[in-house]
Structure 1
Amino acid sequence: MPPTRTLAALLGAAAVAVSGCSTSPSAGPPHPGELPLRQVAQVALTGGPVRFDYTSLDAGRGRLFLAHMGADEVIEVDVQAHQVVRTLPDVPYVHGVIVVPDTHRLYATATGRNQLVAFDADTGAVVFTAPTGDYPDGLAYDPVRHAVWTTNEHAGTETVVDADTGAVRATVGLGGEVGNVVYDPVTDRMVVAVQGRDDLAVIDPATFVVTDRIPTPGCDHPHGQALDAADRVMFVGCEANSSMVTVDLAARTVTGQDRVGETPDVLVYDPGAHRVYLAAESGWVSVFDRRDGRTLAVGSAHLADGAHSLALDPATHHTYFPIPRGADGSPVLWEFEPTH
């Protein structure tokens, strides 16, 4: 936890940011408004003021893992003690990270080497590396078959890796450049945003066969995804036309479309609050609620330059945003609680 004066200064700066003010309002959505968030803490981070990418939270242990892409490292943060625990170096151009608490494993995509790297989440030791396709990005974990899926954006494929041994089980071609991959526990399927085809590919993880393709009309370049498993809804960020679509997976149709900040990237869904957060490359954050089968805008604002990724604790409903350049020019993790 930083000194009171430093935190107070940052809270003041953040209050301006979440009020809807922006240095480039034209990059934001047409309905900007105050975010339903209150900043409660910050953590100074390592590695210099360079780009972050995906995050993954082990909520039970209170450990947050950050892909510090520009620094070629993964940062582990104790979100309860508000301090960095360790950094895991030599993960070139790291994009995706995913922690699996049950097995005490952490997986990261070393995009600069086209590799998946597995770490012991307790010690930080490298357990194995495995080859992927060109430009591995996001990750998903299949808990039934104990497999890690890497999205190889440029190759247009998914690499399926044995989570214990690192053996490559399969490579699944999607017929176009791919975005994020999500495991759907209700149907036991993997869902991939295929940005090169503007659809969602549904894959049987047992046979590695594409069993369905759900078109996403109005969504140009679908990339990020967040799943509401209970209501069978996928929220999809559309990179090329600054929007988010709501997809009814059971009906295989788009049921809603909303404007968001320019180049939407990472989405997370809070199942307890029925709320979805979307962070865009432009630094705009948008928040939506699911009510009575509809996706409703709650607020959007320019949070900070580089605020295109976030993590969520479903127990506390707190959100965490890694920011490349905080008030003192150094990287920082901002923690927020919902105001309503």
Structure 2
Amino acid sequence: MTQSNVLKRICMAACWMLPFATVFSVTAVAQSGPYKVETHWKIGGEGGWDYITADPHAHLLYIDHGPRVDIVNTKTGKVVDAITRLKGTHGVALDDEGKYGYISDGRDNAVVVFDRQTFKTVATIPAGENPDGIVFEPVTKTVWAFNGRSNNVTVIDTRTLKVVSTIALPGKPEFPVADGKGVVFDNIESKNSIARLDAKTLQLTATWPLNDCESPSGLAIDRAHRHLFSVCHNQKMAVTDADSGKTLANPTIGDGPDAAGYDPVHHLAFSSNGDGTLTVVNAASGKFDVVQNLATQRGARTMSVDTATGRIYLVTAEFGPRPAVTAENPRPRPAILPNSFTVVVVGR
């Protein structure tokens, strides 16, 4: 991620400036909600991170961690393997057969395919510039890698592991989702909108504006009720009708959001926020009201929902003191403390 990565890093720096009163008020709200922080899994290592992907059936968590993907057993909280020799990972997509996984390696302008039994790399497929958000589309058996710098999407046939199309987009793409019926949606960060793409015809079929939403990043979907949830950098979640493109609601979320999630069992939407909160939105009532702002940990802005257990996994690290502002570096970032990288486990 180019622009969004900058926003993330600014968020991490800004979080150090939050008043303690805000933290206390968030904690008070958290006590009345259905979720709590259950535990922390220490992963360690160095470098930044991006999206994480839960595999509920295999009880695994794939964590994009700089030039590698850490693989964590969700029953034990232990790292069981890693996919290495990458350059700069962003996301992981999983096919529906349990066979392959697909990593968007942004710094290598490629999608790396790995075997989900051995975790060995089986192919490297050229993509556009800085592939970022990535999703598997089950109807056409394709993987869609959204390229953040070239403003297009690379479509890969999972049966041949070949590129079948490159589709131009109306702006800088962010996170995508598939509706399971042959349609792929993607947030267009630079245009405050959602792109709708037909996986069968390989065509961009609509671009819908997101009302009251600035720089949308994370995106989640309620496939049964046809709702899309975009998290926005003006502390709003834009709820969109997936058929008409109409904005249905804009509940207020935490600061510095990056990922969105949805629990189809409890009908809840989530926003993980860099200010150290997890916002929980009730999607069942039609009002899309906030039911909880759970205190998690500063910088925990990406997450994945485990649909088998209902758990939510977030990742973050500890940071050193914020350096002084200088003319050369007007927005200094606190350094990530070595070996402090952690999974925050949230449950009901």
Structure 1 and Structure 2 fold alike (TM over 0.5) = yes
Q: Tell me the residue number matched to 2:10.
A: none
- TM-score, normalised relative to structure 1: 0.85
* 1:191 paired residue among 162, 181, 185: 185
Note the 1:73-222 alignment, pairs <5 A. Answer: 73-100=68-95, 102-186=97-181, 188-222=182-216
Match of 2:316 among 323, 331, 336: 323
Q: What's the CA shift for 1:215?
A: 1.7
2:220 is aligned with 1:226:
yes
Cα contact 1:57–1:63 (8 A) shared by 2: yes
Q: What is the CA–CA distance in structure 2 between the aligned matches of 1:302 and 1:92, rounded to whole Å?
A: 32
Residues 172-216 of structure 1 show CA distances to partners (whole Å, capped at 9, x for unaligned) of 111211111111124x21111112222211111111111122221
Alpha-carbon RMSD across the aligned residues, in angstroms, is 2.4
Q: Which runs of 4 or more aligned residues in structure 1 lie more than 6 Å from their structure 2 counterparts after TM superposition? A: 26-29
SS of the residue aligned with 2:107? helix
Q: 1:27 to 1:107 in 2, by over 3 A?
A: farther
Q: Deviations over 1:243-274 (max 9, x none)?
A: 11111223321111122222321001000010
> How many residues matched?
312
SS of alignment partner, residue 173 of structure 2 = coil
Distance 1:151 1:80 in 2: 32
Shift of 1:306: 2.1
Match of 1:47 among 45, 48, 68: 45
Question: Using the alignment, how far apart are the partners of 2:223 and 2:347 within structure 1?
Answer: 23
Cα distance change, pair 262–102 in 1 and its aligned pair in 2 (3 A): same
1:56 aligns with 2:66: no
The 1-side partners of 2:313 and 2:161 are apart by 30
In structure 1, runs of 5+ residues without a counterpart are 1-20
Cα distance change of structure 1 residues 22 and 287 upon mapping to structure 2, 3 Å threshold? farther
Q: Deviations over 1:107-136 (max 9, x none)?
A: 111111111001001111111111111121
- For 1:28 and 1:111, how far apart are their aligned partners in 2? 35
User: 134-143 or 160-169, which moves further after superposition?
Assistant: 160-169
The whole-number CA distance in structure 2 between the counterparts of 1:328 and 1:252 is 44
Distance in structure 1 (CA, Å) of the matches to 2:20 and 2:102: 37
Counterpart position of 1:6: none
Identify if the C-alpha distance between structure 1 residues 26 and 168 changes in structure 2 by more than 3 Å, giving closer, same or farther. farther
The aligned amino acid for 1:81 is T
Q: Is 1:280 equivalent to 2:278 in the alignment?
A: no
**Cα offsets for 1:34-89 (capped at 9, x unmatched):** 153223333221423x32211111111111111112xx110111111221101111
2:235 alignment counterpart: 242
Query: Contact 1:99–1:106 at 8 Å: present in 2 too?
Result: yes
Higher strand residue share? 1
Aligned to 2:328: none
Superposition deviation, residue 24 in structure 1: 0.8
SS in 2 for 1:222: coil
Matched, 1:253 2:250: no
Kindly indicate whether the alpha-carbon contact (under 8 Å) linking 2:37 and 2:296 is maintained by their aligned counterparts in 1.
no
Unpaired segments ≥5 residues, structure 2: 1-14, 320-336
- Quote the offset at 1:158 in angstroms: 0.8
Q: Which residue of 2 aligns with 1:263?
A: 256
Partners of 1:214 and 1:154 in 2: CA distance? 21
One-letter amino acid of the structure 1 residue matched with residue 39 of structure 2: A
Tell me, yes or no, if structure 1 residue 290 matches structure 2 residue 283: yes
CA distance in 1, matches of 2:16, 2:171: 35
Identity of aligned residues (%): 26
Distance of 1:27 and 1:101 partners within structure 2: 46
